[in-house]
Amino acid sequence: MTLLEINNLSKHFRSGGRDVTALDGVSLTLDSGQTLGLAGASGSGKSTLARIVMRLLPPDGGSIRFAGEDWLALSGKDLRRRRAKIQMVFQDVLGAFNPRATVASVLDDPLRIHEIVPKSDRPRKIAELLDRVGLQGSLADRSIRDVSGGQRQRIAIARAIATDPALIVLDEAVSALDVSIRGKVLELLVELQRERDIAYLFVSHDLAVLRAVSHRITVMDGGRLVETGPARQVIDNPQSTAARALVSAVPRLRIQTPQGHSHEP
């Protein structure tokens, strides 16, 4: 089932007296339970697209349908209620959280705001979420500043799944992690997707990361989508200059065998 349908999205910024085209006629679709990897060099427009999907930024033109509704037309209470269904995980999780927060309060926020479970049930739900992302319940009282980068990213994932979303937008969500920890977090994301039928819009400049999780990959260049296809096809046989440059930036990409957690479309 088509979950997300983006049509002809455009966005310009005025910056230092110049007009920057961040998005130029971007159209894409994403089905429930599938991962679309969004690749592209720095400045190609990936984060702008992610932020517009999250309704953190308005587009200049174009439309977005999410779960059959006109996503850009929603406002007020309707938007607040539907927001639970699209969550985001950033690279800089500390920047997104109040640095004085505890792990428990970070997870409590979405449960409270979206009234997921009654107050008395929230500690149990927090323990369950921590357990699901492979963390000890004893972490709940720790400050979010005092956990490791990998743990913090798992907490961000726990927070994202707390509202039972249909879509999670991941913007360079594993880019800051060491390679071994990154692999484990990608495995967790794939497991959660299979278990809960969550769709991922997975933004990364790193095709090795996208290969491990994506069913399809789309490549951006200068605000346009220049190539879209099954992950393996885009990596093994890139057609556009931008896709070829990304593939050659990861020298062993095409001869490595897929990881255990890799899932083919």
Ligand X SMILES: Nc1ncnc2c1ncn2[C@@H]1O[C@H](COP(=O)(O)OP(=O)(O)OP(=O)(O)O)[C@@H](O)[C@H]1O
- Contact positions toward ligand X, by CB under 6 A? 13, 15, 20, 22, 40, 42-48, 205
Whole-number minimum distance, CB 153 to ligand X, in Å? 18
* C-beta of 22 vs 231, nearer to ligand X: 22
Whole-number minimum distance, CB 39 to ligand X, in Å? 9
Rounded Cα–Cα distance for residues 151 and 130 (Å): 10
Whole-number minimum distance, CB 71 to ligand X, in Å? 19
CB atoms within 10 A of CB 162: 26
Q: Residue holding tokens 């005092």?
A: 146
Whole-number minimum distance, CB 170 to ligand X, in Å? 13
Both tokens of residue 169?
Answer: 């937008």
Both tokens of residue 138?
Answer: 């004893």
* C-beta of 40 vs 238, nearer to ligand X: 40
Residue 239 makes CB contacts below 8 A (sequence gap 6+) with 227
Any idea what DSSP says for residue 102?
A: B
Scanning 28-84, the segments in alpha helix (DSSP H) are 46-53, 76-83
Whole-number minimum distance, CB 201 to ligand X, in Å? 13
* C-beta of 18 vs 100, nearer to ligand X: 18
Rounded Cα–Cα distance for residues 163 and 196 (Å): 12
* C-beta of 61 vs 265, nearer to ligand X: 61
* C-beta of 20 vs 176, nearer to ligand X: 20
